[in-house]
A and B are shown apart, each in its own frame.
Chain A
Amino acid sequence: MTRVLEIELNGERRADPIEDNLLLLDYLRETVGLTGTKTGCDGGECGACTVLVDGVPRLSCLTLACSLVHRRVETVEGAGADGMLSAVQRGFHEKLGAQCGYCTPGFVVAATALLRWNADPTDDEIRAALGSNICRCTGYVKIIEAVRHAAALQSKGVRARVARPGSC
């Protein structure tokens, strides 16, 4: 069945006609054209498709788009502001938390959620927050450094954008 999905995506209200069985991942990538969110597996195994739903990390490959009526969804494309990188994105760039970059959107999104509720996480807290994301390139060492660096940047005022004015 087709219905209209009203949703807030990266701070913007949208209304898109969708099929009931459309996955959030396919909605983002194919319907909206936001290809930053990646497909890394056949479902629920890798974390590459992680997005935030009402601020909480969620696997978009296991989520039906139609279940998110009026919910707030954030993807990697919504992490920066005004074309600038967020603290988390800068952290991943400057500390080489991204090699091939394929897992990176999922990690950036999960780390963004972490640093919102915990501005100064320990390494174990970082591990706990990123435990369901797989990276095949880095061995995670520099991902942990990237998140630490992002926390430092954020505390110095290079803040990750929480949400645009008017949202939530």
Chain B
Amino acid sequence: MNAPLESGIGGYVPMVDGPEKVSGRARYTADLAVRPGTLVARLYRSPYAHAEILEVDVSQATRLPGVRAVITGADCDRTFGVLPIARSEHPLARGKVRYRGEPVAAVAAVDDATAKAAIALIRMKVRELPAYFSAAEALAPDALPIHERKRGNIEREVRFEIGDVAQAFAEADLVQEGTYHCPEVCQNQMEMHAALVDYDAEADRLTVHATTQTPHYIHLMMAHVLELPMSKIRVIKPHVGGGFGARTETLNVELIAALLARKTRGRVRLVVTREETFLTHRGRPESHIRVKIGLRRDGRITGVECDCIQRGGAHSGYGIVTILYAGSLLYGLYDLKHVNYHGVRALTNTPPCGAFRGHGTVNVRFAFESLLDRMAEQLGLDPLSVRRANLLVPPTFTDNDLMVNSYGLPECIDWVERRSGWRERRGRLPRGQGLGFACSHYVSGASKAVNPGSEPNATVKVRLDHDGSVAVLSGAAEIGQGSTTVIAQTVAEVLGLGLDRVHVISGDSDLVPTDNGSYSSRVTFQVGNAALDAARQLKTILLNAAARRLETRVENVECLGEHYRAGAQDTGLSFDEVAAEALRGGTIVVTGTYTTIPESHGGKKYLGAAIGGTMAFSYSAQVVQVSVDEDTGVVNVEKVWVAHDCGKALNRLTVEGQVQGSVWMGMGQAMSEEMGYHEGLMVAANMLDYRVPTIFDSPDIEVGIVESNDPHGPFGAKEAGEGSLAALLPALANAVHDAIGIRFDALPMTPDRILAAIEKRRRGHA
């Protein structure tokens, strides 16, 4: 372990906002002090999966005493959606409803009981339409379009072939194909969605508090939907109880609360239930994947063919990006030469999917790594050697033009091989016990933002205060991943200050510079680099101030943490003295920025090839040990060894926490999590039926940190919060195969499915 510096860079640093959280003082949106007069909002949601709205009768609800406003789709004709090219959603449905649970009307009332009573009085008349609950039904030639502008219910179809796949398969010693099915899963972050919106009628100004990862996107979308200038809206992000991608776009919750606040000219609080949080959804789409790989006896992959069909739900959301990622991130992990991809994102009458942690890569990675494991076995090759035969050599560009400058995958593989005792133990465990292996990777920030403008990718301001403390103003959204801590550490490190001198101000659009928020694992890399830039500028100012006071040239000034001196003989100046000198000219605020380089923007070989472009990839290798009870079908995940290349661990504690959290989240998808529907009705919209692993089901997860020192990363750092999720699914499935000899190509591996597979094999053998 490195000796921690004062900033703690490279050490184990508890989060700077930890004490607030463990003491119960941290305020989340639903906790904000609610003054008398605050109205409570509730939603009327569609009981139909697909229907033309003939009438929404709110007359009785409006007349109920205590009701201040009832709104419907008639109150807002603007559409929203995170991608400027795909804004398909109204805050409240207009003309049609497209999934069961879609908001149709909303009430603001003096209290919750009145709001609920009003909702019960709302009547809706519809003409039902045929509804499509699977991608196959929606894509059938005779299906009606769910959105007029999307014929055939195709949100986006992607096709590319780079190289010559047929030729590559002809050169392989083994060509195999598999089909894989991943269920729809949901982030299910612990905090339910909430918004508190204040409308100041005098100033015609909205103040929005919301549970979001992307306050700036809310700001943009709120301005668009409410037709207000951005300066008339203030967006505040309080503490947020997890995101995992569910909150990387503006949700109807915030917009509806704002519409109600404006209509009532007051203050409205909308806290939705857990069931409604599930319905709001934005999870990972159900995916059917067919993958075909050509492999040589020496382990080289000659070519890959992959089809992916995603059930996207009733609205566009991030869908286009998800189906593009699924293809582009076939690359970047191994050296692939000939690849053919066909992706279809379907619109269906189910709640809209979104950007779940590991966005776009997870299901395809499960399919790819599962098939590779099967083929390695058929050729009698060690799964690790197969990966080692296909490594990239950095610096390089993949064939689809993704930039790779740092590549710690070989070290990750070595680490898990050693720590798990792979060579000694694999194949020698008792029946029912097994080891499985797989790899994955992820972007450290999309190089092009979803809302590209001429702005830098990240901007941070650093202010020197009169007591010698430093305030960092950043729009990065702390959602529990530790962004505030890592930004504070970065600035403290450059300035040679203790962490207690640095204070991060974030999450208030009136105070902080614009930032795209916490998604695609961009914060450490992009915001970190902007913070680095700002801190370096301030450092220059401080060195010059010290030179003035010490009456020497700036090159002669030596900075030893909080002590500045001109040579060893000099008694020097304290940081406070240097700060006072620097501040003689008035308040100092410096602005640091970060802009990704054009080479990182992905390619142009097919439409949408920019998706996947990033400044750096993180890498992960994993070994999972399981035992399977063949009488009950219960899989016990006993241990996970995971090595993650995060470039440089700025904070080993939070890196470990992020890696463990993502591995564990992958385990949930592999083992038990699944959104189920009956005729479009979500049947697992609670935390008992939607089973996330409890502490009983959860293994020890040992983390190895690999540091490949990315040349562009802040201090060499890359992402740590997503890249380890994907490998867990195939590593676990491969371990189950090692334990009982059965391959699971459909997730989750619940006990009933395990038992059914064992039974099927028994009958087959009988």
Interface of A toward B, CB cutoff 8 Å: 29, 33-42, 45-46, 48, 75-77, 79-80, 85, 89-90, 92-105, 108, 126-127, 130-144
Chain A CB within 10 A, most for which of B25, B239, B240: B25
Pull 27 A–B residue pairs with CB atoms less than 8 Å apart, ordered by A.
A35-B30, A35-B31, A36-B25, A39-B192, A45-B686, A45-B687, A48-B190, A89-B23, A93-B19, A95-B14, A100-B239, A101-B26, A102-B239, A103-B190, A104-B21, A104-B22, A108-B22, A127-B695, A131-B694, A136-B188, A136-B189, A138-B664, A139-B698, A140-B695, A141-B701, A143-B695, A144-B695
Provide the residues of chain A in CB contact with B22, threshold 8 Å. 76, 85, 89-90, 92-93, 97-98, 101, 104, 108
Which A residues are CB-close (under 8 A) to B663?
139
Determine if B24 and A75 form an interchain contact, defined as CB atoms under 8 angstroms apart: yes
Tell me the bound Cα distance from A35 to B239 in angstroms: 13
Interface residues contributed by chain B, number (CB under 8 Å): 56
A98 to B686, CA, bound (A): 23
CA distance A127 to B15 in the complex (A): 24
Q: Judging by beta carbons under 8 Å apart, are B18 and A93 in contact? A: yes
Which chain A positions have C-beta within 8 A of B231?
Answer: none
- Chain A contacts of B687 at CB under 8 A? 40-41, 45-46, 134
B159 at the A interface (CB under 8 A): no
Question: Is B274 a contact of A45 with CB atoms below 8 Å?
Answer: yes
CB closest chain-B residue, reference A30: B34
User: For residue B608, which residues in chain A have a CB less than 8 angstroms away from its CB?
Assistant: none
Cβ-closest 8 pairs across A and B: A36-B24, A100-B480, A101-B21, A139-B664, A102-B241, A76-B24, A35-B31, A45-B687
Point out the residues of chain B lying under 8 angstroms from A137, CB to CB.
190, 242, 480, 657, 661
Question: Is there contact, CB below 8 Å, between B190 and A134?
Answer: yes
**Distance to closest chain A CB from B597 (angstroms):** 32
Specify which chain A residues have a CB less than 8 angstroms from the CB of B653 in the assembled complex: 95-96
Bound CA–CA A139/B242 (angstroms)? 13
- Interface majority SS on A: helix, strand, loop or mixed? loop
Contact B657 A101 (CB under 8 A): no
> Is B656 engaged at the interface, CB distance under 8 Å to the other chain?
yes
A103–B28 alpha-carbon span in the complex (Å): 12
Nearest Cβ distance between residue B137 and chain A, in whole angstroms?
Answer: 30
CB distance B18 to A98 under 8 Å? Answer: yes
In the assembled complex, which residues on chain B have CB atoms less than 8 Å from the CB atom of A132?
694
Set of chain B residues within 8 Å of A127, measured between Cβ atoms: 695-696
Q: A29-B31, A103-B241 are in contact. List 15 more A-B contacts (CB 8 A).
A: A45-B686, A77-B23, A77-B24, A89-B23, A94-B14, A96-B15, A99-B482, A102-B241, A104-B22, A131-B695, A131-B696, A137-B190, A139-B701, A141-B698, A144-B695
Residues of B contacting A48 in the complex (Cβ-Cβ under 8 angstroms): 190
Assembly CA distance A139 to B660 (angstroms): 6
* Distance of A110 from chain B, by nearest CB (Å): 10
A132 CA to B694 CA in the complex, in Å? 8
